[in-house]
């Protein structure tokens, strides 16, 4: 799937894209549950691409260290929330390949509380959804581990007081 930057930003601004949100508790996470959810998220992405639509599908995990994982279709690695910046990187004449970006949102992922990685192009995901479901499960498991082990950096004011 290809799209012009102007059309993409208009769709995001008007929220003209498929949206889904699934919420589970941290205690409910199992490999089987993650596989089911990832398969659903990738399936929704494939359906969006087949209808020339954009998508934002999310998995929110509640618990002691809450986290949200999202798949968003875009032409650049920016979340939908920053769609106005897309024009800084792309022009209005060219059509760009739509990719799926995997986003991790948690105050325990890094100091910016956000991480974005490319999962794959729309064409590749449509061609092999099972492969990308497996990749998504692996990516979610890796980020859960990062969040589970994250140590917040000491604040500078706190560090100065202890000296």
pLDDT in tens, 62-120: 999 999 999 999 999 999 999 999 999 999 999 999 999 999 999 999 999 999 999 99
Confidence of residue 154 (pLDDT cuts 50, 70, 90): confident
The predicted structure's pLDDT at residue 158? 53
Please list the alpha-helical segments (H only) found in the chain: 5-13, 31-50, 122-127, 129-149, 156-162
Confidence of residue 153 (pLDDT cuts 50, 70, 90): confident
Flag whether pLDDT at 10 surpasses 80. Answer: yes
Q: Tell me if residue 98 falls in helix, strand or coil.
A: coil
Q: How far apart are CA 99 and CA 1, in angstroms?
A: 9
Sign, CA torsion 35/39/42/45: negative
Flag whether pLDDT at 29 surpasses 90. Answer: yes
What is the reported pTM? 0.90
The predicted structure's pLDDT at residue 157? 59
Helices 31-50/129-149 angle, 10° precision: 130
Confidence of residue 152 (pLDDT cuts 50, 70, 90): confident
Sign, CA torsion 33/125/57/53: negative
Flag whether pLDDT at 134 surpasses 80. Answer: yes
Q: What is the mean pLDDT of the chain?
A: 93
């Amino acid at each position: 799937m290809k799209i012009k930057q102007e059309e993409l930003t208009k769709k995001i601004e008007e929220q003209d894209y498929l949206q889904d949100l699934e919420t589970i508790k941290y205690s409910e996470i199992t490999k089987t549950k993650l596989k089911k959810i990832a398969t659903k998220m990738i399936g929704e992405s494939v359906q969006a691409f087949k209808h020339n639509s954009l998508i934002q599908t999310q998995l929110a995990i509640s618990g002691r260290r809450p986290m949200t994982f999202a798949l968003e279709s875009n032409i650049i690695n920016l979340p939908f929330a920053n769609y106005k910046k897309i024009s800084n990187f792309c022009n209005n004449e060219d059509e760009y390949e739509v990719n799926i970006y995997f986003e991790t949102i948690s105050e325990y992922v890094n100091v910016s509380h956000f991480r974005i990685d490319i999962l794959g192009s729309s064409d590749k995901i449509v061609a092999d959804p099972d492969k990308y479901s497996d990749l998504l499960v692996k990516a979610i498991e890796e980020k859960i581990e990062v969040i589970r082990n994250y140590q917040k950096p000491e604040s500078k004011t706190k560090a100065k007081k202890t000296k």
